[in-house]
Amino acid sequence: MLSGRTIVLGVSGGIAAYKAVEVCRRLVDAGAHVVPVMTQGATRFVGEVTFSALASEPVQTSLWAERDPIPHTRLGQRADLVLVCPATARLIGDYAAGISHDLLTATLLATRAPVVVCPAMHTEMWEHPAVQENLATLRRRGVVVVDPGEGRLAGGDVGAGRLADPDDIVAAAQRALVQASSAGDLEGLSVLVTAGGTREAIDPVRVITNRSSGKQGYALAEQAMARGAKVTLVTTVARPVVPGIEVIEVTSAADMEAAVMPRRDADIIVMAAAVADFRPAQVAGHKIRKGDTVPQIVLEPTHDFLVDLGADKREGQTLVGFAAETEDVVASARRKLERKHLDLIVANDVSAPGVGFDHDTNQVVILNAAGFDHDVALSDKRSIADAVLDAVVEWRRTTARHETA
């Protein structure tokens, strides 16, 4: 998504400006055409020649450059993306209020391209209500905010406000471009997503469960909504979610089935949850204490309602399953896809480093019913979600063409 794209890299006046040098280099290495714009404050931390040497064009700093009477308009119109790294409290406040007093703020107001801002400031500033309200305003307007991390700050203390890692910033830029190019491709469609690992009771205290965090399912739900869908999320975990998604909280496999089946007429169903295959056949009515007789837990299979969804799939509906495997990943997933009459299945090797359960990253193979396999390299889970939704959109287009041929 970065190759051949014009990215205006705005650098404002904070100590983290030096980290924008690495972001610039990575963007250029990925094939982007990077146009650096520095505020006067930024030039106090990093010299103009550094960005001019690494970027695709010389640095621009002034609204009054003789070579172009309206540089902010030209920049705003040329940009496929505007990335501000770092974004100071002043820059965020000016942008939220619509104030343009230099080339960077004027460009931000003059563009219709997607905008990504990467705040960096001291903890007290980051936590100030005014800063948080300004960021909330920008988010409501569609600006992507890459939240800072925690770590060592200028002055030697430790806390929140440290600029996000370059890898995360570049990934956010990629996501913003993906969202811009795919915006609206799920418009008018209903999407049902499941997330998290179900919990099957042993007694009123203990459960059998798995390590699923629900992160992938939440990413799928949020990216589907960003692409125009009306989204329902059935989940076993309580995680923050963007407004506008209907959230239904459940616990067990039976609870999830009870929530999903009445909503099985959704246009797209993505079963990302790790639903238990087995549950205790008997549930103790009281907590089993250490002094009690050691219980013999007999397991019985849960009902695989994904089979029912596949059997009852209506014309025009798309059904996506997930397969968390530890061996024979593709072959096992292909058998599951065929047995359950799925359109697509997303398979991953959860024994691999950084993949699947409870990680922020994933690496998957997307298989479809026509025999196509697509490998998606290790990426953050939002990028994986977009890859899955891209595959869904392409599948729907392909099947629609076949039906009308």
Q: What is the pLDDT of residue 178?
A: 78
Q: What is the pLDDT of residue 404?
A: 60
Q: What is the pLDDT of residue 140?
A: 85
Q: What is the pLDDT of residue 70?
A: 84
Q: What is the pLDDT of residue 215?
A: 95
Catalogue the active-site residues.
210
Domain 6-181 identical in fold to domain 184-404 = yes
In SS3 terms, the chain reads as CCCCCEEEEEECCCCCHHHHHHHHHHHHHCCCEEEEEECCCHHHCCCHHHHHHHCCCCCECCCCCCCCCCHHHHHHHHCCEEEEEEECHHHHHHHHHCCCCCHHHHHHHHCCCCEEEEECCCHHHHCCHHHHHHHHHHHHCCCEECCCEEEECCCCCEEEEECCCHHHHHHHHHHHHHHHHHCCCCCCCEEEEEECECCEECCCCCEECCCCCCHHHHHHHHHHHHCCCEEEEEECCCCCCCCCCEEEECCCHHHHHHHHHHHCCCCEEEECCECCCEEECCCCCCCCCCCCCCCCCCEEECCCHHHHHHHCCCCCCEEEEEEEECCCHHHHHHHHHHHCCCCEEEEEECCCCCCCCCCCEEEEEEEECCCCEEEEEEEEHHHHHHHHHHHHHHHHHHHHHHHHC
Q: What is the pLDDT of residue 188?
A: 93
CATH assignment of 184-404, among 3.40.50.10300, 3.90.850.10, 3.30.70.1880, 3.10.20.30? 3.40.50.10300
What's 6-181's CATH class?
alpha beta
**Domain layout of the chain by residue ranges:** 6-181, 184-404
Q: What is the pLDDT of residue 260?
A: 98
Q: Is this prediction's pTM over 0.85?
A: no
What is the residue-level pLDDT of the chain in tens, covering all 405 positions? 788 999 999 999 999 999 999 999 999 999 999 999 999 999 999 999 999 999 999 999 998 876 777 888 999 999 999 999 999 999 999 999 999 999 999 999 999 999 999 999 999 999 999 999 999 999 888 899 999 988 888 777 888 889 999 999 998 998 888 778 766 899 999 999 999 999 999 999 999 999 999 999 999 999 998 888 999 999 999 998 877 899 999 999 999 999 999 999 999 999 999 999 999 999 999 999 988 888 899 999 999 999 999 999 999 999 999 999 999 999 999 999 999 999 999 999 999 988 988 888 899 999 999 999 999 998 889 889 999 999 999 999 999 876 665
Q: What is the pLDDT of residue 384?
A: 92
